[in-house]
Amino acid sequence: MQKKLVAPSLLASDFANLQRDIEMVNQSEADWFHLDVMDGVFVPNISFGMPVIQAMAKHAKKLLDVHLMIVDPDRYIKTFAEVGANNLSVHYEACTHLHRTLQAIKMEGMKAGVALNPHTSVKLLEDTIADIDLVVLMSVNPGFGGQAFIENTYNKVKDLKNLIEQKNSGALIEIDGGVNAGNAKKLVEAGADILVAGSFVFKSENPTETIKKLKEEIA
Ligand SMILES: O=C(CO)[C@H](O)[C@H](O)COP(=O)(O)O
Ligand SMILES: [Fe+2]
């Protein structure tokens, strides 16, 4: 069985102490870094872009899982590979030619991910799931950290797990938004492989310990 992973989202870190927070994740039991790129068009917020990711990559000793919340992501696939992204997830809702975009991501040597907004059905991935390495199920409306988890996500995880099995796909299931110690176990039991956690980790008193607790919760 696939090992269950925790990916802290640096969106909730202290940007004035980014290197310190990256080192904390390096030393912790976390598995990946989750990096949220927002353009102020696809989502009503702007986060950070390539120069910041390039700087993060110099210090990060774990895989960089980049979540693009941007329109027309095809324009930047090559650049994200150059600055150090290992996984690149685009939003289903932002792609006109999703299959082509997935191939382009893989051509650049990255794993290809597709993120779905809470209102987007997993059924829409029926014809692309075999080409997808990672599905990011948004459990909040994208754009901001610190929002409440949407309960319907459990149903979506189960539906997606069935689709993956039915189509013999190797896609992993990642959950993004409002993850905490209260929903982590139930998400993994429903079929999730990777849990992104931003606020729950970085706004806690002891982030290293919080990551450890989340890992124990899903072991
Ligand atoms: O993609 C995102 C927001 O669009 C973030 O990854 C997500 O919100 C994680 O933050 P938190 O755990 O605080 O909800
Ligand atoms: Fe994200």
Residue type, 141: N
Second-level CATH architecture of 5-218: Alpha-Beta Barrel (3.20)
What span, in angstroms and rounded, lies between the C-alpha atoms of 210 and 168? 35
Q: d(Cα 2, Cα 183) in Å, to the nearest integer?
A: 19
For residue 2, the model assigns a pLDDT of 78
Q: Express each pLDDT in 168-200 by its tens digit.
A: 999 999 999 999 999 999 999 999 999 999 999
Looking at this predicted complex, what is its ipTM?
Answer: 0.98
What is the whole-number distance in angstroms between the Cα of residue 67 and the centre of ligand 2? 5
Q: Which ligand is nearest to the CA of 13?
A: 1
Q: Which residues are annotated as a binding site for a divalent metal cation?
A: 34, 36, 67, 176
Mean pLDDT throughout 143-154? 98
Ion ligand 2 neighbours (CB, 5 A) are 36, 67, 176
Instruction: Provide the total of helices (H) and of strands (E) in the chain, helices listed first.
Output: 8, 8
Atom of ligand 1 nearest to the CA of 203: 13
Q: Over the stretch 95-148, which tens digit does the pLDDT of each residue have?
A: 999 999 999 999 999 999 999 999 999 999 999 999 999 999 999 999 999 999
Give residue limits of the domains in the chain: 5-218
- Cα distance between residue 186 and residue 80, in whole Å: 33
Q: Which amino acid is at 12?
A: A
What span, in angstroms and rounded, lies between the C-alpha atoms of 164 and 169?
5
- pLDDT category at 48 given cuts 50, 70, 90 is very high
Name every protein residue with a CB atom under 6 angstroms from any ligand 1 atom.
9, 11-12, 34, 36, 67, 69, 140, 142-147, 176-179, 196-200
Alpha helices (H) in the chain, listed in sequence order: 18-27, 50-59, 77-83, 98-107, 153-166, 184-190, 199-202, 207-218
Instruction: Give the closest ligand to the alpha carbon of residue 144.
Output: 1
pLDDT tens track for 60-83: 999 999 999 999 999 999 999 999
